[in-house]
Structure 1
Amino acid sequence: MKEVPVTQTSQADQVVFWLHMNEDRQHWMQGAIQRIRNHYIEAKIVVLANAPDQAEALYALSLGAVGYSHAYATADALKEIKTVIEHGGLWLGNSLLQKLIEVSTKLTSSHADHVEGLLKQLTQREREVAVEAAKRLSNKEIARILAITERRVKAHLASIFERLKVKDRLHLALMLNQNYTI
């Protein structure tokens, strides 16, 4: 990799570095990205590979690259990549994007199933209270919505915390809002 001198104005922070990988790929890529990052913290880096590989693409992104593509992509494709990353996006390519969507869907549904299993430990009324509490409503608001007393809301919350092994309303809200459709 040719060394680029650091300028006082750091204009290179606004450019895109296109790294064409060839041999000793991962070791070279790590060193090249580190050298660029040492001089140009905000620079955008796109890795171009002769033989693209999904694992390598993920590794490039983990090192701070914002794009990964085939080295022999068309000029139009390279322009599109540049446009996407200049607007704050990541360029992954269709096959990697589809794989990430597939994996995240499996993880999300698996974790959601786990949370659903936890919620099945609760009575119907406790589930209703838990869902309302996860919306950050006060005990008074929950009582009004569910037409029960505040004292009953507090009793349900105590039972919910114990059964789900959560410490407080915040923990409950985080668990439900991340993994359960409210």
Structure 2
Amino acid sequence: MIRVLVVDDETLVRTGLRMILEAADDIEVVAEAGNGTEAITAVARHRPQVVLMDVRMPRMDGVAALQEINRSQSPPKVLMLTTFDRDEFVHAALRARAAGFLLKDTAPRDLIAAVRTAADGSAVLAPTVTKRMIDAFADQFSPDVRAARERLAVLTARERDVAHAVARGLANAEIARALGMTETTIKAHVSRSLAKLRLTNRVQIALLVRDAGESGAWSAHAAESPRSQE
């Protein structure tokens, strides 16, 4: 059973999220909190595996709470909820190592899938969120094209294929199908790429690919790659 803490300053939102999540047989909402301060206390008391937390809240916002939660021993995975419309907190949350981002209008089945993915230790970035984050923060992550390409040069050809697919907002399962690999292999490629590039999450990979001017190169290159190679 996946233990989840729901954090949002609006009672109706928390109630709605609880109803959606508890419709799944393998998810239990162990507590709710109305701000970041309450969230920190609830994490210590209830030991959830996943925290679903609003970015914007009174008293203590989601980013500040995330930073504090991540200082604890064996912290839970924290998924940030955002409307994303000009949300200046998203970049800060990325730097604080959020496990992922979801829009508040995410479909119920996708919300449940995201919680399961986070509990499994993988990053959660809905394609729509990925695209909007890249568009919004490209300027802040933009070294010149040559520098970005030099960084990507440390990746193998297959790791680069996966990086290009990540930049398109594809999930691991979609990348696996497109490249003829297993999802486990895709996860391994992403992990190795993050380590080689000294990055912390998939969005930063996507931004680097964009900076290198390679965000449109994936389809043609992948089509030429042997699908059986891993």
Determine if the TM-score, normalized by the shorter chain, exceeds 0.5: no
TM range (shorter): 0.3 to 0.5
TM-score computed with the length of structure 2 as normaliser = 0.36
More strand by share: 2
